[in-house]
Amino acid sequence: MSKAFQNDPSGNALKARYQELLNVLTEKYGSPTSVQHLGDSIYAESQYFLAGIKGGQSFWYSNFSTPSLSVQLGLSADDMSSGRWRIIYEEKSLRKAFDAAKKGKEKGAL
C-alpha cells in the first residue's frame, strides 16, 4: 500500500501514479481486466472522485492473471481528500491450499 496522496479530492496525482504502475504491471503480466467506474450524481464529478471511492460508489482497479499468480492494482480512499494505491499479489496454489484447509476446519467446527 502506498503513502497517502493527501489534499487530492479529485485523485489526479493518485490516478497518475496508478497509470504508471498499470503500465509496468501490464508490461510484466499482460493485459488486465480493468474497472474504472464513477458513481452517479455528484460522484461522477471529478472533485468528488475520492468521495465516490470512499463511499463505495466508484471503483478503480485492474486484475492481472497468470497461470500461477493473481495481481490486483487498485485505489482506495482514507477520506474524501486522501487516497492510496495498493497492489495485492496472490499465489494461486497457496490460495487453493488455504481454501481447502478453511473448508476442513469449518466442517469440523460446525
pLDDT band at 110 (very low <50, low <70, confident <90, very high): confident
pLDDT of 95 reads 80
- Per-residue pLDDT, averaged over 77-88, amounts to 97
Of 54, 61, 56, 59, which is closest to residue 83 (Cα–Cα)? 54
Q: Order the strands of the 33-37 sheet from edge to edge.
A: 33-37, 59-65, 69-77, 83-91
How far is Cα 13 from Cα 8, in angstroms, rounded to an integer?
Answer: 7
Q: Can you read off the three cell numbers belonging to residue 109? A: 467446527
Q: What is the pTM of this model?
A: 0.85
